[in-house]
Amino acid sequence: MSYIYERTINYYETDKMGVVHHSNYIRFLEEARCYCLEKAGMPFDKFEENGITIPVLEVKCKYKQHITFADTILINVIIKEFNGVRLTIGYEVKDKKTGNDVIIAETKHCFTTKNLKPINLKKHYKAFSDKFEALLSLS
């Protein structure tokens, strides 16, 4: 299953050339990831209440087309892999107006305690694990 996160570009997110600065896309992915988890019944504050953090291990991003101030993007968030310890999320970012790809991206994460000790959700947090499994099976 995937979720679509819609976002309009702010002027301050553009650079001197008038296009969105490349570093802002990473922020957009995080916004979309938080939105997806909230819609799936797993808001970030629930992880934190249970002493779980989800650090980013890797980001891959292929820039396809630029966007500018006031453009609206649609970010399709897809759970690609989940094994209890690691999570891979894919993102397809499109220009809402044209339907063209803006970026294709992927983030890799792990689950840890607040002290950054790796944990396995399948063993210790079955409710979260079951929700990720459900999302993965619908992708």
Known catalytic residues are: 15
Distances (CA, A) of 122 to 98, 116, 125, 133: 41, 17, 6, 10
CA dihedral 61, 118, 45, 135 (to 10 degrees): 60
In terms of Cα–Cα distance, which of 40, 43, 28 is closest to 107?
Answer: 28
- Neighbouring CB atoms inside 10 A of 91's CB total 25
- How much of the chain is helix, strand and coil, in % rounded to 5? 30, 40, 30
